Structure 1
Amino acid sequence: MGIFNCQGAGWCKVEKKNRIHDSSPMTLSGSVRAQDVDFLPRIAGDGWNGDTVLYAHRSGDLVRLPKGAAIPVTLKVLEFELYTVTPIKDVASDISFAPIGLINMFNSGGAIDVLDIHSESKNPELNCAMTVDVRMKVRGCGTFGAYSTHKPKKCSVDSCETEFTYDSTSGLVTFIIPVSKEEMYRWDVKIEI
């Protein structure tokens, strides 16, 4: 989702640059909600409770939005912000996950071809903790981001364990997907939570 403030400015064909037409342009203020994204419930699938995460590309902030909530946005003239809006999947009683994709791309989620999530209890008789395996097929290279309520145990790309960072405040998990030697290669990405 893109929000742009183009008030009082425009592209000058002669000077080949943005030109401000208003000497005191106004800031643009509004809000962003998950409901602003068409067909999001259809994409999220059955069982989705309406919660999402929003990844802001310019600031790098990740925000969890409960169903119906909004975040404020204020932009000066010629400023913009792009958001990746991703439905959160509750995969166990206390574990939630949402893939964002390649976060340095404007269409970050477009890098994810396949998403498959499995959860199981290590020992159901003793009511032991759940383990969650998230498997994805990902195209492209760069920094991959995802949201998780718990720090992953490990992340791997094509069965090779990779270093990752986890921000416990926002739930942002990031790791690097390398450049492929093959064109249109799809990486096997696994996140173990």
Structure 2
Amino acid sequence: MYSQKKLKLLKLSENVEITFQPFDYELLTVTPIAVLSKKSVQFTPIRLVNMLNSGDAIDSLVYDNSDDEEEESSVSIGVRWSGDMRVFASEKPSSCTIDEVSVDFSYEDHMVTVQVPWPNYSRLSEIKYVF
């Protein structure tokens, strides 16, 4: 929920009730949760939270679920534009990179937040979360 800055996990059978005051609004991002099979980590991208049209910021999404038990699972997201990128993850990632450079991230209440800088070139920024 954009205005309320809340995350709600729902089952398919659950509903959300929202009440609006006059001239009030709310934007909802609805996205399915994937499970990284090797680590059983639940994961889904939310968006660049500074954008109203959040769906347009994520250009690609790749889940790497290698069959090798020794390898880590990862998720790569191609993002256009800059800002605070948030994803839901049931566990804290072991690392996070942007364009193969390690970056600081925060993890609170199953929400991973990373600051995506404005790219100096006309291509996507690739954010990689490793579990």
| The one of 82, 96, 101 aligned to 1:141 | 82
- The answer to which structure has the higher helix fraction is 1
* Structure 2 match to 1:175: 114
Match of 1:166 in 2: 107
User: In structure 1, which of residues 66, 69, 77 is the aligned counterpart of residue 22 of structure 2?
Assistant: 77
Shift of 1:131: 2.8
Q: Give the TM-score, by structure 1 length.
A: 0.62
State the alpha-carbon separation in 2 of the partners of residues 72 and 159 from structure 1.
41
CA distance in 2 between counterparts of 1:166 and 1:72 reads 28
- Shift, 1:101, TM fit: 2.0
2:61 to 111, 115, 119: 115
After TM superposition, where is structure 1 displaced by more than 6 Å over at least 4 residues in a row? none
**1:192 matched to 2:130:** yes
**Larger RCO, structures 1/2 (Cα 8 Å, 6+ apart):** 2
Q: Which amino acid aligns with 2:69?
A: K
- Cα distance in 2 for partners of 1:131, 1:180 equals 28
Taking the aligned partners of 1:83 and 1:131, their CA distance within structure 2 comes to 32
Which is strand-richer, 1 or 2? Answer: 1
Residue 185 (structure 1) shift = 2.4
- Amino-acid identity (%): 29
**Please, what is the CA RMSD of the aligned residues?**
1.6
- Paired residues in the alignment total 129
Structure number with greater Rg is 1
How many Å apart are 1:74 and its aligned residue? 1.4
Return the letter of the residue paired with 1:61. Answer: K
* Code of the aligned partner of 2:92: K
Structure 1: segments with no counterpart, 5+ residues: 1-55, 124-129
